[in-house]
Chain A
């Protein structure tokens, strides 16, 4: 008898599918949450394409590319962590979740480094915003400021999701360490994985839309 089975489910499989369905419905609301910002971004990029290209050229492409690779790698280790719990490999699960956690922190560190540079060069929207070098193209600095508003709002909310993700992975790793999971029951690892991959997908779209504009 599975001790994790709640009384209103027929069997553990049904319970597991219900948990995954619930998570996907939550992720659909998350798509809508980020979707509002993506639509806002689209409207202003259509209106001020040159200003967005200028703003994008001020971002650090290397840092953005490295961060994308870090997140993709963390999704890979997360997928392997879920696989380890499916096959009853506890140490493997804990180890891979710890690596995922570490990569998440590395991502946030690089992001923090980028933010610091943006504050230092006055590219943060607000009173002290300034575009230091004069541009030959007739671009309104205020429109570039708009680009940076979207940059900080979107990457900021993404970073917030990363912080929540890091917390969730920490909890899952601790539970795995305490032998809470088995091949019969590892729902929290699977659900945390879904969240982590979702946050990765948001970044997959943010990266070309913010860093790669020409």
Chain B
């Protein structure tokens, strides 16, 4: 078997990074600006999700087909979000 075994150090580093990002997002929530607040919150959430998927879920070490399946889910969600919001936001 040729499974990639990720060093414990890498997992520990990713976990530490996730905790730092959590502290950051709670601190950033004090930003009073509505748009900036949402933008920072979402950027941090996407970073955390990416870390979890790439390392904990081994996407970084998986085959191309598996990575495409993962991307497809978010791609279809983006279609749903874009089409729906382009409707709602242009109604005013």
In the bound assembly, the distance between CA atoms of A31 and B89 in angstroms comes to 23
Proximity bits, A42-83, B CB within 8 Å = 1, else 0 = 110010010001000000010001001100110110111001
Inter-chain contact B66/A35, CB cutoff 8 Å? no
Q: Which residues of B contact A13 (CB under 8 A)?
A: 1-2
Most chain B Cβ neighbours within 10 Å, of A39, A65, A209, A213: A39
Across-interface contacts of B34 in A (CB, < 8 A):
49, 53, 214
**Nearest CB of chain A from residue B60's CB, rounded to whole Å:** 12
Decide: A31 and B52 in contact? CB cutoff 8 A: no
How close is A52's CB to chain B, nearest CB, in angstroms?
10
Q: Are the CB atoms of A197 and B81 closer together than 8 Å?
A: no
| 1/0 contact string of A1-30 vs chain B (CB within 8 Å) | 000000000001100110011001101111
> Taking A32-B77, A73-B15 as contacts, is the C-beta distance between A65 and B69 under 8 angstroms?
no
If A25-B69, A201-B52, A205-B49 touch, whether A46 touches B88 (CB-CB below 8 Å) is yes
Q: Give B12's nearest chain A residue, CB to CB.
A: A76
Return chain A residues, CB-CB under 8 Å to B14: 76
Which residues of B29-48 are within 8 A (CB) of A?
A: 29-34, 37-38, 41-42, 44-45, 48
Name the B residues within 8 Å of A160 (CB-CB). none
Q: In the bound complex, do residue A183 and residue B1 qualify as a contact, i.e. CB atoms below 8 Å apart?
A: yes
A39 / chain B contacts, CB cutoff of 8 Å: 80-81, 84-85
* Count of interface residues, chain B, beta-carbon cutoff 8 Å: 52
Chain B residues, CB < 8 A from A138 = none
With A76-B15, A78-B56, A83-B5 as given contacts, are A214 and B29 in contact (CB-CB < 8 Å)?
A: yes
The reply to whether A208 and B2 contact each other, CB–CB distance below 8 Å, is no
Which of B8, B33, B48, B81 has most A Cβ within 10 Å? Answer: B48
A72-B18 contact in complex given A39-B81, A79-B55, C-beta closer than 8 Å:
yes
Could you say which residues of chain A place their CB within 8 Å of the CB of B89? 46
Question: Which of B2, B25, B88 interacts with A212 by CB under 8 Å?
Answer: B25
Pair B22/A69 contact, Cβ less than 8 Å: yes
- From the candidates B41, B73, B77, name the one contacting A208 in the complex (CB within 8 A): B41
A residues near B (Cβ < 8 Å) are 12-13, 16-17, 20-21, 24-25, 27-32, 35-36, 38-39, 42-43, 46, 49, 53, 61, 65, 68-69, 72-73, 75-76, 78-80, 83, 86-87, 183-184, 193-194, 197-198, 200-201, 204-205, 207-209, 211-214
A/B interface sample: 23 pairs, CB < 8 A: A21-B65, A31-B73, A31-B76, A32-B77, A39-B81, A72-B18, A76-B11, A78-B56, A80-B8, A83-B6, A83-B11, A197-B52, A197-B53, A197-B56, A198-B57, A200-B52, A204-B45, A204-B48, A204-B52, A205-B45, A208-B29, A208-B44, A211-B29
